[in-house]
Amino acid sequence: AQKVTQAQTEISVVEKEDVTLDCVYETRDTTYYLFWYKQPPSGELVFLIRRNSFDEQNEISGRYSWNFQKSTSSFNFTITASQVVDSAVYFCALSEDNNAGNMLTFGGGTRLMVKP
């Protein structure tokens, strides 16, 4: 069965600091997809990125970057030069390719607070 663990329940940083959110996953499948979602105070989950299990290239999008390492089953998310607007709960999620339901398995989330 698949499982996603986000060990950091809450992180507090001061604006302009860099911050890394950790995500560790478990799956028996060789083909799977990893996602990061942002949940601002409004409650709506916002899709940030998707990675498939065969693509270990790191990705950068503006201030956001993702580090996918199959050897350690991790998919970490780094925000560079954090801003107050980055304050939200961030969820890492996993979907297995043989999962007939295509459901997402979420981690418990990391609440990020960026203080001015």
Partner 1 sequence: GAGVSQSPRYKVAKRGQDVALRCDPISGHVSLFWYQQALGQGPEFLTYFQNEAQLDKSGLPSDRFFAERPEGSVSTLKIQRTQQEDSAVYLCASSVAGSSYNEQFFGPGTRLTVL
Q: b/e map of 57-81 (b: 16 or more CB within 10 Å)? A: eeeeeeebbbebeeeebbbbbbbee
32 binds partner 1 (CB under 8 A): yes
DSSP secondary structure string for all residues of 4-30: EE---SEEEEETT--EEE--EEE-S-S
Could you say whether residue 104 binds partner 1 (CB under 8 A)? yes
Q: Give the residue with the Cβ less far from partner 1, 32 or 75.
A: 32
> Which CB, 32 or 79, lies closer to partner 1?
32
| Choices 18-26, 61-69, 76-84, 101-109 (CB under 8 A): range interacting with partner 1 | 101-109
Question: Per CB under 8 A, does 43 bind partner 1?
Answer: yes
Q: Is 37 an interacting residue with respect to partner 1 (CB under 8 A)?
A: yes
- Of 107, 77, 102, nearest to 92 by C-alpha is 107
Provide the binding-site residues for partner 1, judged by CB under 8 A: 4, 6, 32-33, 35, 37, 42-47, 50, 52, 91, 93, 95-97, 99-109
